[in-house]
């Protein structure tokens, strides 16, 4: 294990615990900016950490634009005086009204939001009209993930024109998230982005020919970040999320990436029920369980182990070295998927120079803050 992860005295850390390493986070933030080529081209997604202090570190690094997925994350960003916040989520029902309140509550922040259907556009227009303010709206283009969005084509052009015509709305460009592109080989990701871009750029050209402005294209997550970052497209912004903390899932899959895991879990051995079995207090209520059982984390410095069972509060492994792990032993783990893992913890323990320094609240793990 990288010695810088070890906490000299972990007695004040209640396991299972989420640990953040600010020095490594700072290094990942610097790599994000370096990869994007300039501060202008970076719009990191905050859903990974949901934490004011990390937003503060990003602001300190000169980042001004942020992406988020929930109104609580958007409010967290507003409360940090983030200059530019994009809520990358289509709003329906009472969330349209909440969005209107949000924009009024943080007038210094420039907010924008996604729309992918005329009904959503109309509902947002109605909510914004009550505030007398204008919402900047990007259309969400479905470029292959088929999760949200509208394909780049006539329906998308029509939606963009509708946004331009509705009171309280102003068209702000395209959102192009390609979360389905996580091919292991970088050239495969490059090819996939090239293919999805052609109709997107055609749509932009057609709208601009009609006199509509398409000021920005917000593209990608971490897997295709190195690809988007190399593109020379006016108004391009890259929106990786995970790599600010990074995790075992991406770290083990994308060999070209130089980000470092900056968030770990501390767990303790609670039992050794058989001579080859070790049970840790790291159940699936403390680590994201969207990866398959047995692949949700890697334990550092545990030889030849195999995860054989995980319950809500227990992780059971088999290892020939079980004898070296008596109850109470501290073990460090790198989660496979850090974003949902963070959301499972109310606080992170902050480790500086091998010591517990403070705690940070994972404030936007709540669905609603004050709005």
Ligand X SMILES: Cc1ncc(COP(=O)(O)O)c(C=O)c1O
The bridge status of strand 17-20 relative to strand 263-271 is: antiparallel
Q: What is the CA radius of gyration of the chain?
A: 22
Which residues are bridge partners to 307 per DSSP? 317
Q: Write the binding mask 253 to 272 for ligand X: x where contact by CB under 6 A, - elsewhere.
A: --------------------
Q: Which of 25, 54, 88, 265 binds ligand X (CB under 6 A)?
A: 88
DSSP string, 225-294: HHHHTT---TTEEE---GGGT--HHHHHH-TT------EEEEEEEEE--STTEEEES--TTSS--SSPTT
Q: Which of 21, 99, 174, 177 binds ligand X (CB under 6 A)?
A: 177
Report the residue number, 268 or 365, with the smaller CB distance to ligand X.
Answer: 365
> Nearest approach, Cβ of 126 to ligand X (angstroms)?
25
Report the residue number, 28 or 109, with the smaller CB distance to ligand X.
Answer: 28
> What are the Cα distances from residue 163, in Å, to 120, 283, 297, 350?
10, 46, 44, 44
Q: Which of 41, 45, 49, 296 binds ligand X (CB under 6 A)?
A: 45
> Nearest approach, Cβ of 42 to ligand X (angstroms)?
12
Rounded to an integer, what distance in angstroms lies between the CA atom of residue 55 and that of residue 80? Answer: 7
242 binds ligand X (CB under 6 A): yes
> Nearest approach, Cβ of 285 to ligand X (angstroms)?
21
Phi then psi for residue 172, to 5 deg, are -125, 10
Q: Which of 70, 222, 279, 336 binds ligand X (CB under 6 A)?
A: 222
Phi then psi for residue 322, to 5 deg, are -55, -35
66 binds ligand X (CB under 6 A): no
239 binds ligand X (CB under 6 A): yes
Rounded to an integer, what distance in angstroms lies between the CA atom of residue 141 and that of residue 143? Answer: 6
Q: Write the binding mask 179 to 218 for ligand X: x where contact by CB under 6 A, - elsewhere.
A: x---------------------------------------
Report the residue number, 168 or 240, with the smaller CB distance to ligand X.
Answer: 240
> Nearest approach, Cβ of 99 to ligand X (angstroms)?
17
Rounded to an integer, what distance in angstroms lies between the CA atom of residue 229 and that of residue 42? Answer: 9
Residue in the shown chain whose Cβ atom is closest to ligand X: 221
Rounded to an integer, what distance in angstroms lies between the CA atom of residue 340 and that of residue 9? Answer: 27
Residues forming the site for ligand X (CB under 6 A): 45, 67, 88, 177, 179, 221-223, 239-242
């Amino acid at each position: 294990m990288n010695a810088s992860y070890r906490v000299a005295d972990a007695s004040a850390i209640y396991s299972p615990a989420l640990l953040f390493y600010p020095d490594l986070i700072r290094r990942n933030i610097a790599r994000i900016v370096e990869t994007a080529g300039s501060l202008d081209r970076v719009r990191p997604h905050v859903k990974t950490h949901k934490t004011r202090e990390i937003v503060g570190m990003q602001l300190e690094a000169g980042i001004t634009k942020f992406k988020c997925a929930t109104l609580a994350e958007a409010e967290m960003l507003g409360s940090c005086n983030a200059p530019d916040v994009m809520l990358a989520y289509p709003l329906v029902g009472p969330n349209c009204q909440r969005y209107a309140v949000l924009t009024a509550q943080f007038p210094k922040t420039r907010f924008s939001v996604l729309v992918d259907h005329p009904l959503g556009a109309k509902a947002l227009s109605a909510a914004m009209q009550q505030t007398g303010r204008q919402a900047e709206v990007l259309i969400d283009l479905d470029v292959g993930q088929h999760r949200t969005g509208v394909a780049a084509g006539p329906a998308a052009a029509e939606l963009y024109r509708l946004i331009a015509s509705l009171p309280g709305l102003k068209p702000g460009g395209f959102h192009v998230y390609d979360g389905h592109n996580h091919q292991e080989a970088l050239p495969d990701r490059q090819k996939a982005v090239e293919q999805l871009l052609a109709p997107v750029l055609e749509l932009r050209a057609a709208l601009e020919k009609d006199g509509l402005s398409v000021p920005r294209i917000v593209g990608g997550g971490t897997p295709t970040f190195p690809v988007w970052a190399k593109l020379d497209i006016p108004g391009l912004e890259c929106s990786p999320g995970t790599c600010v903390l990074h995790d075992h899932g991406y770290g083990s899959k994308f060999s070209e990436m130089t980000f470092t895991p900056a968030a770990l879990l501390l767990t303790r051995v609670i039992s050794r029920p058989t001579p080859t079995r070790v049970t840790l207090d790291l159940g699936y209520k403390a680590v994201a369980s969207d990866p398959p059982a047995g692949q949700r984390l890697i334990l550092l410095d545990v030889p030849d182990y195999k995860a054989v069972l995980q319950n809500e509060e227990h992780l059971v492994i088999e290892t020939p070295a079980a004898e070296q792990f008596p109850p109470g032993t501290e073990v460090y783990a790198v989660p496979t998927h850090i974003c949902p893992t963070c959301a499972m913890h109310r606080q992170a323990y902050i480790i500086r120079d091998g010591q517990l320094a403070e705690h940070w609240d994972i404030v936007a793990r709540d669905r609603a803050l004050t709005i």
